Every structure is written in structure tokens, then in C-alpha cells.
């Protein structure tokens, strides 16, 4: 996957405002899942490990290989929370990906990708949405904390109305269902949850200018407290079909406070938005950019 990747430099911050924002932020609370029960390690030849009786999962990357895992279940709509602690130190060239995806050339996909950095520079949080095999909807952000020092919660709310990305309960991006305007929306393909840690030094850090320093390997990312309030898809039917009365997230949307938070984050921490990249789209920006 290629990506626009600006040169990292710390954004200007308004710390007092930030403290107030985060104090008001939604609390993401849920019963922690068990990685042994919820996920399969899919590749990495032993570099991925499930520890602490299923409460912790780690992925590692060295010069030979990265590693990854996939959920046992497929989901068709859900509110998915995962806590991650990213690769510390000089992680330039590495990408930690955490995403939902179906299969096939016309697949749907909802992406969090964390682009590694030189020591002292901020991580870049890269987001994207694919519908029917078409992506090119990248938005990138800096984070308002060091994501390598502790675990933070990264959430995806996916319901028939919209897809909303959250960081520690604060919304950072929304992709609305605009099918009435002819814009495809992911709603019919069940998706697995994936995560992987891999080498992408051909594009990830400063557009590929900074390469992976293998003397720092192995690189390790950690996961805990997975929680899915979601419709499990099995044998052609959804677990939400018969009883959705307890699934309030299926109709959840951003209220006025949420809309203010997302605007604040985008004004202060967004560093790339495909909807403003006129050079990339010389024949006109994608239609959702003027409708959302």
C-alpha cells in the first residue's frame, strides 16, 4: 500500500484546550476479550505471541519477517475497541496495521495504520476506507500523546449510517453513508479484524527516505483489552438479525459535542486529507468530499 507521507515535525499544540478536551472525552469501557478465544495468529513463524493467559498479544518484526493475526469471527457492523502500545524508539520504516477487511478484489476495508518514526519524532496515524475495492481516502494525523509509552484505545464504530474512528474515545474521522448520492458504503460484506507488524520502508517514513534500522530489531507492538460489540456473521446470517434491541451502537452517531471534538482534532492534528489534495485529483475531488 502506498501513502502520502509528509515529513514528521511536532505540530503546534494547545495543551490547556487539550486537557479540557480529553477530560470530556468518552470513556471506552468494555469487558476485555481473550486473544486465545478471539484471534488466530496467521503468520510470523513464532514472532507473534499470546501471553498472560490470553490477556496480552505481541507482534514482532525482524529483518526476516513480520507477524500478524486475524479474528476468528467475521463481523457485519460493530463497535470494535483494541488497546495498542506501539513500537518504541527508532521505529522508522515499520508499520503497525490494525484494520477490518473482507476478501476479494472488490473488498471493503477500514484502516488504522501507525507509521513508525525516527526517535523523537511523532508517529503518524494513517486512516483509510475502502469500498468495493476502491480506497484512496487517506487522512493522516499526529497523536496528542506518545503512543509507545502506554496502551491507548483505538476504536472503529461501523454501523449502517457511518464509520467513525476514535482514539481514546475521541472521534477523529467520520465516513458517512452517502449511498443516496451514488457513493458506495461498506454494508454487505462481512469483515475480519486483522493486525500486522511489517516493514514498509519503501514508503512509510518520509515517503521512503528513512529506512529501517535493523540494528534496533526486533521491533515489538503489544495489544490488550479487545472488545467487540458487534454483529457476528456466520453461515450467511448475522447474530443481530433476530434481536438488536440491546445494540444501541447500531444507531449511534456523533452528537453536537462529538462533532465539535472531531472538528477540533482535525483542525489541530490532521496533517493530510485526501479531500483537499487537488493536485492528486486534478479532475475534481471525490464526490463525498463536498457532501460530507
Q: Which residues are catalytic?
A: 109, 113
Residue pair 112/98 in contact (Cβ under 8 Å)? The answer is yes
507477524: which residue's cell? 67
Q: In sequence order, what are the residues at sequence separation of 6 or more whose Cβ sits closer than 8 angstroms to the Cβ of residue 265?
A: 141, 170, 171, 172
Torsions phi, psi for 208 (to 5 deg): 95, 0
Q: Please give the grid coordinates belonging to residue 43.
A: 503468520
CA 257/CA 263 separation, integer angstroms: 10
Cα atoms found within 13 Å of the Cα of residue 179, Cβ hemisphere only: 11
Q: In the beta sheet, which residues pair with residue 126?
A: 113, 140
Cα–Cα nearest to 140, from 25, 265, 278, 18: 265
Residue with cell 467475521: 74
Pick the closest to residue 87 from 186, 226, 225, 216 (CA basis).
Answer: 216
Q: Where are the alpha helices (DSSP H) in the chain?
A: 15-24, 35-38, 256-269, 288-291
CA 277 to chain centre: 21
Amino acid at each position: 500500500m502506498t501513502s502520502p507521507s509528509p515529513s514528521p515535525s511536532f505540530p503546534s499544540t494547545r495543551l490547556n484546550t487539550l486537557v479540557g478536551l480529553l477530560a470530556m472525552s468518552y470513556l471506552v469501557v468494555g469487558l476485555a476479550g481473550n486473544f486465545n478465544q478471539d484471534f488466530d495468529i496467521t503468520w510470523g513463524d513464532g514472532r507473534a505471541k499470546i501471553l498472560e493467559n490470553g490477556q496480552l498479544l505481541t507482534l514482532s518484526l525482524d529483518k526476516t519477517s513480520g507477524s500478524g493475526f486475524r479474528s476468528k469471527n467475521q463481523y457485519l457492523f460493530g463497535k470494535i475497541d483494541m488497546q495498542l502500545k506501539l513500537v518504541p524508539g527508532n521505529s522508522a520504516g515499520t508499520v503497525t496495521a490494525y484494520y477490518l477487511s473482507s476478501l476479494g478484489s472488490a473488498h471493503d476495508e477500514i484502516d488504522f495504520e501507525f507509521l513508525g518514526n525516527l526517535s523523537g519524532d511523532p508517529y503518524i496515524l494513517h486512516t483509510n476506507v475502502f469500498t468495493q475495492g476502491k480506497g484512496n481516502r487517506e487522512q493522516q494525523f499526529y497523536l496528542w500523546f506518545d503512543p509507545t509509552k502506554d496502551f491507548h484505545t483505538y476504536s472503529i464504530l461501523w454501523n449502517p449510517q457511518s464509520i467513525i474512528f476514535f482514539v481514546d474515545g475521541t472521534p477523529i474521522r467520520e465516513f458517512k453513508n452517502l449511498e443516496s448520492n451514488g457513493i458506495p458504503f461498506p454494508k454487505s460484506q462481512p469483515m475480519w479484524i486483522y493486525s500486522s507488524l511489517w516493514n514498509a520502508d519503501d514508503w512509510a517514513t518520509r515517503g521512503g527516505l528513512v529506512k529501517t534500522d535493523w540494528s534496533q530489531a526486533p521491533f515489538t507492538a503489544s495489544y490488550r483489552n479487545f472488545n467487540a460489540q458487534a454483529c457476528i456473521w456466520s453461515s450467511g446470517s448475522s447474530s443481530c438479525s433476530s434481536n438488536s434491541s440491546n445494540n444501541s451502537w447500531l444507531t449511534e452517531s456523533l452528537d453536537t459535542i462529538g462533532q465539535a471534538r472531531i472538528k477540533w482534532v482535525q483542525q489541530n492534528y490532521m496533517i493530510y486529507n485526501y479531500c483537499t489534495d487537488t493536485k492528486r485529483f486534478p479532475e475534481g475531488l471525490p464526490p463525498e468530499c463536498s457532501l460530507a
